[in-house]
Structure 1
Amino acid sequence: MTILLYDLVGSDPSRPFSPHCWKARMALAHKGLEFDALPTRFTEVAEVEGGGGRTVPVIRDGDAVVQDSFAIAEYLDDTYPDRPPLFERQSGRALARFVESWSQRTLHPAIVRATILDIHAAQDDENKAFFRTKREKAFGKPLEQVQDGRTEEKRLAASKSLEPLRATLRNQPFLAGERPMFADYIVFGGFQWLRVLSTFQLLDDGDPIADWFERCLDLHGALGRQVPAAA
C-alpha cells in the first residue's frame, strides 16, 4: 500500500514548501518507499487524520498514522529496516536530534526574518488572513516588522552564523559523511523552504553549503528540483 503524506502548500498545490514536510519527503525517497502527497493548506492542518490539533507532516502507512518529521524518520527506519537507513544506529538518532535543534534555532529564524512576507504572499486570501493572525500573535508585531533580515549587513551575519555547517562541508560531501542521511535532510528542508518561496539569496556562489545543497537537490531522481525555484 502506498504511503500518504500530508504536505503543506500555499495557493499553488504543486509547490510544497514546508521545511518539515521536505524532511519527510526526502526520508521516504531515501527509503525507496512510494508515497502520495496530499496538498494541505494551513487552515486544513488541524483536521488532518481526525484533527486533535495536528501539525504536518503526517503520514498514513496502512493503519499507522505518524506525525512530526523526526518521528516519521524513526518510524520508517524501525518499520523498514531492510531499506537504506536514515540513522546510523541509536547514536545517529541522537546526533540528528542535535542537528535538528541547531537548524531550528539558527537556520530557520534567519530564513523567517528574510522571507516571512514571501510565505504570506504564497497563500490564498483565507490562508493569508490565518497566517498573519497566527504569526503576528506569536511574534507580537506585524509581519512587516518581523521581516528585517534582508539588509546586506544582516544577510552576512546570518551567513556567518552557518560557519559550523560550512566548515563541516568543506571536508566531506554530506553532513553524514560520504552519503546523505536524515541529518542532511533536516538542514536541506530549511534551504528548500527558502528556495521554493523566495528569490532572496542567503549564500554566495561557491559557498560549500550552496554546493552541498545542489548535491541534495540531485538526490533521489532530483526530487528537490521537481519544484522549481521561486522566480
Structure 2
Amino acid sequence: MKPIILYDLAAKDTSIRFSPYVWRTKLALEHKGLPYKTIAWGFTDKQMIAFSKQGLVPVIVDPNNGDKVVSDSWKIAEYLESQYPDKPSLFGSNSGKNGVYFVQKWWEVTGINQIVTFIVLDVWKCINAKDAEFFRTGREKLFKKTLEDIEKGRGDRVKAWRATLRPIKDLLREQPFIGGKTPNYSDYIVFAGFQWARCVSDFQLLEKDPKDPIYNWRERMLDLYGGLARKSPMVAPAAHL
C-alpha cells in the first residue's frame, strides 16, 4: 500500500506540527494502521492546496484510490472508515458514529474555542513572519481585540475552564478512554486540542495531578502508537516533562 499524503500545519521550525484538526487525522490514520507521509504547510500557502478547492488543512491525497482528495478532518475520518472497512473502526457502529459527532460538536465549543484564547499569542510567536501577519490580522478581526488582550488573564480563566471538563472527567473515572476500553475517534478529537497547546506553548491546560482522570488519560494518549504525540517536537519541551 502506498502512503497517504497528508498536508500538515507547520511552525517556522517545520518539525513542529500543531493543528488540532490535523492531529485528529494523524491519529485516525494510526488507528487504521494506514501508512502516510506529511507535507509541511503554512497559513498562507493557499496555492499549495488549491487542488482541494478550499484553503484549510487537513487535506489528504490517497494514491490507493485514484489520488482521491479529501479535506476537513471529519470528512477524512468518514472517508477512511468507508474506504478501509477491514481496518479497525474509528466509530464502532453507526450509532457510535453519532455519539462521536456529538463529542466533536461539544468539544468545538467547550474545548477548541476556549483553548485558542489561552494560546493564541503563542501560536503567533511560533509561526513564520508571513503567516504571523496573516494570523494576527485574521484572529484580531474575529475576536475584535488584540492577540495580547485575547490571552490576557489566562491563568485565572483556565481554572474555570477545567471545571467545564467535568463530563469527561466523570466518564474517565469509569473507563480508560472516552471510547471505552480502547480509544476511538472521540478520544482523538478531544486529545488533539491538548496536543495543539502542548506543541506551541508552555502554558499548562491541566495541572500535573496523577489523581486527575483527564490528566492520566492524556498521558495514555501521549503514549499511543509508539509515543507519537509525546515525541512530537514542541516549542517548549522543558515545560512538558
TM above 0.5, yes or no, is yes
1:187 pairs, out of 187, 190, 196, with: 190
Q: What is the aligned length?
A: 230
Q: Which runs of 5+ in 2 are unaligned?
A: 237-241
How many Å apart are 1:107 and its aligned residue?
Answer: 1.1
How many Å apart are 1:49 and its aligned residue?
Answer: 4.5
CA distance in 1, matches of 2:50, 2:61: 8
| Conservation of the 8 A alpha-carbon contact between 2:126 and 2:235 | no
CA distance in 2, matches of 1:74, 1:147: 34
2:102 pairs, out of 89, 98, 109, with: 98
Percent identity between matched residues is 45
Q: TM-score normalized by structure 2?
A: 0.92
Q: Which runs of 5+ in 1 are unaligned?
A: none
Q: 1:51 to 1:69 in 2, by over 3 A?
A: closer
CA distance in 2, matches of 1:168, 1:202: 19
Matched AA of 1:38: I
CA distance in 2, matches of 1:229, 1:38: 18
For residue 24 of structure 1, what is the aligned residue in structure 2?
25
| Conservation of the 8 A alpha-carbon contact between 1:100 and 1:183 | yes
Matched AA of 1:190: G
CA distance in 1, matches of 2:78, 2:53: 22
CA distance in 2, matches of 1:149, 1:85: 41
Aligned pairs (5 A) from 1:149-228: 149-152=153-156, 154-204=157-207, 205-206=209-210, 207-228=212-233
| Conservation of the 8 A alpha-carbon contact between 1:8 and 1:56 | yes
For residue 139 of structure 2, what is the aligned residue in structure 1?
135
For residue 57 of structure 2, what is the aligned residue in structure 1?
56
CA distance in 1, matches of 2:96, 2:90: 9
CA distance in 2, matches of 1:198, 1:104: 20
| Conservation of the 8 A alpha-carbon contact between 2:43 and 2:134 | yes
- Map Cα deviations across residues 43-68 of structure 1 (whole Å, 9 max, x no partner): 01454052533311010002210111
| Conservation of the 8 A alpha-carbon contact between 1:7 and 1:57 | yes
Matched AA of 2:176: P
CA distance in 2, matches of 1:51, 1:43: 15
Aligned pairs (5 A) from 1:68-83: 68-83=72-87
